[in-house]
Amino acid sequence: MRAWTISKRVIKELFRDKRTLALMFLAPVLIMFLMKLIFAASTTTEVKVATVDLDGGIRTELNAVKHVAVVKKASVHAAKTALKNQKVDAVIQQTKSQHYRVTYANTDASKTALTKQAFKGALAANGTKQLKATTTKLQQTLVGLQQQVAAKTGSQVTATTTPKKASTGNVMITNHYAYGDKDTGFFDKILPILMGFFVFFFVFLISGMALLKERTSGTLERLLATPVRRSEIVVGYMLSYGILAVIQTIIIVLTTVYLMNVQITGSLLALMVVNFLLALVALAFGILMSTFARSEFQMMQFIPIVVIPQVFFSGIVPLDSLAHWVQNIAYILPLTYAGDAMTQIMMYGTKLSGLGLDIGILLVFLLGLTGLNILGLRRYRKV
């Protein structure tokens, strides 16, 4: 009986805490709904291939492959420029008869695999078509010879030809990779996004917990009773945790490069700058969310709402495969822009000057959240 009494008391307290109820009943539904939107999307891989001096028959067969589009380029330089500018996914150059040089962007392992399969299929199909044409022409020639012989000798001569299988023994394909090598896989594609996610998650959580502890212990209230400005308090917190964010960024980036042997075609410093900027955004986000929490448990409740959706819409699943209204969700999440910037640096060697949009939006997030934090401290100032 006493156990039932304790149970009723706990149940009453739980029903008074609306956030806990929302976490238990609504958050799982929200996350499942987001997963349905992401994984029910069309994930068909589309490949665009640039060709240089490629045999017309092979180009036609390649263009006929489903989900493959072929663009003819006048020179190798033009094709390589399109590859560098992410306009095409591969470049196929025919150097001489039966010799081909293929360069893959290789930023998406599925596109590289599809290009290889499609090109080999096009070679085989074109070889078979040429063999059929040659066999037909040879049969017509033999029929003519038979008629001539029959006319002169008065006897009928029958000759037949047996078609041979298309031979690909003389075909030579040389593969090159703009990023990584033949072993580059899906993990390399999502690694920039995972880096950003771990930076965002841990900085968000630790900074929010720390300010919450200062508030619940009374330290923040005593600090606000002094002449110190609210902006100075916010900037002070961001500077202190910003130093930790710098150290965290350096550790994550160096570990990724040297322990996991992940290739970075761009500047290591540029990658650290983007990670640090994302860490500052996460710091400001964590401080803001802590103003709405009364305990560490309530702070944890913001994770399914603030952190988890960013993973789904940050580019792990290509955004162009989603419905337009779903894509719009990604544009209001900071991890989307940080993930895109780090992907550009790691895989395409883009400089910071070429990431103006992504960095600019991250700065807007940082300034906006910092301003909200300064306003949010009003509710705790007693003097």
pLDDT of residue 323: 67
Q: Is the pLDDT confidence value at 163 over 70?
A: no
Do 116 and 211 fall into the same domain? no
Q: Kindly report the average pLDDT of the chain as a whole number.
A: 80
DSSP secondary structure string for all residues of 50-61:
EEES--HHHHHH
> Of the residues 156, 177, 198, which one is the last residue of a structural domain?
177
CA angle 183–186–187, rounded 5-degree value: 90
φ, ψ for residue 104, nearest 5 deg = -105, 140
Higher pLDDT, 331 or 214: 331
Is 42 part of a structural domain of the chain? no
Q: Are residues 250 and 130 part of one domain?
A: no
Report the candidate in 273, 316, 360 with the shortest Cα–Cα distance to residue 43.
316
Mention every residue, 6+ apart, whose C-beta is less than 8 A from residue 128: 166
Looking at the structure, tell me whether residues 102 and 231 fall in a common domain. Answer: no
The one-letter code for the residue type at 72 is: K
Rounded Cα distance between 46 and 31, Å, is 28
Q: What is the length of the chain?
A: 383
Residue 198 scores a pLDDT above 80: yes
Name residues whose C-beta falls within 8 Å of residue 197's C-beta, 6 or more positions apart in sequence: 310, 311, 314, 335, 339
At position 203, the amino acid (one-letter code) is V
Q: Decide: 82 and 73 in contact? Cβ < 8 Å.
A: yes
Point out which residues pair with 99 in neighbouring strands: 96, 172
The helix (run of H) or strand (run of E) holding residue 177 is: strand 172-177
pLDDT at position 10 is 66
Q: Tokens at residue 95, please? A: 């150097």
Which tops the pLDDT comparison, 350 or 168?
350
State how many domains the chain has: 2
Worst-scoring range by mean pLDDT, 174-178, 196-200, 298-302?
A: 298-302
Q: How confident is the model at residue 368 (pLDDT cuts 50, 70, 90)?
A: very high
Maximum mean pLDDT: which of 18-27, 88-97, 316-325, 371-380: 88-97
Same-domain status, 263 and 375: yes
DSSP 303-323: IIIIIHHHHHTTTSS-GGGS-
Domain shared by 157 and 235, yes or no: no
Task: Please report whether residue 19 resides in a domain.
Answer: no
**pLDDT confidence of residue 107:** 83
Q: Please check whether residues 300 and 209 belong to one and the same domain.
A: yes
248 and 376 in a single domain? The answer is yes
pLDDT at 166: 42
pLDDT given for residue 217 in this prediction: 77
pLDDT, mean of residues 138-160: 67
Considering the domain architecture, whether residues 61 and 151 belong to the same structural domain is answered as: yes
184: number of CA atoms within 13 Å, CB side? Answer: 25
Same domain, 171 and 289: no
**Residue 199: count of CB within 10 angstroms of its CB:** 26
Assess contact for 38 and 59: CB atoms under 8 A.
Answer: no
**Residue 152 belongs to a domain with what CATH number?**
3.40.190
Domain boundary among 177, 199, 234: 177
- Is 18 within the bounds of a domain? no
pLDDT at 160 over 60: no
Please report whether residue 31 resides in a domain: no
> In this model, does residue 168 exceed pLDDT 50?
no
Residue 39 lies in a domain: no
Mean pLDDT of 269-286: 90
Q: Which of 6-20, 84-98, 185-199, 361-375 has the lowest mean pLDDT?
A: 6-20
Which residues does 108 contact at the CB level (< 8 Å), separation at least 6? 45, 89, 189
If asked whether residues 330 and 216 sit together in one domain, one would say yes
117 plus 229 within the same structural domain: no
Per-residue pLDDT band for 17 (boundaries 50, 70, 90) equals low
Contact 319, 38 (CB under 8 A): no
Residue 338: inside a domain, yes or no? yes
Is residue 188 predicted with pLDDT exceeding 70?
Answer: yes
Residue with the larger pLDDT of the pair 220 and 48: 48
Give me the residues paired with residue 47 across strands.
68
Question: If you average pLDDT over residues 42-46, what whole number do you get?
Answer: 68
Question: Does residue 172 sit in the same domain as residue 198?
Answer: no
Confidence band (pLDDT; 50, 70, 90) for 27?
A: low
Sign of the torsion formed by the C-alpha atoms of 35, 36, 37 and 39: positive
Measuring CA to CA, how many Å separate 235 from each of 239, 240, 283, 293? Answer: 6, 9, 11, 21
Cβ(208)–Cβ(287) below 8 Å:
yes
Q: Which domain holds residue 371?
A: 185-380
Least confident piece of the model among 112-126, 133-147, 271-285, 325-339: 133-147
Per-residue pLDDT, averaged over 176-193, amounts to 82
Burial 147-181 (b: 16+ CB within 10 A, else e): eeeeeeeeeeeeeeeeeeeeeeeeeeeebebbbbe
The single-letter code of the amino acid at 300 is: M
Can you give the pTM of this predicted structure? Answer: 0.74
One-letter amino acid of 205: L
d(CA 198, CA 314) in angstroms, rounded, equals: 13
With respect to residue 10, please indicate whether it lies within any of the assigned structural domains: no
Q: What is the pLDDT of residue 90?
A: 92
Residue 224 lies in a domain: yes
pLDDT over 90 for what percent of the chain? 12
Instruction: From 142, 177, 212, give the residue that closes a domain.
Output: 177
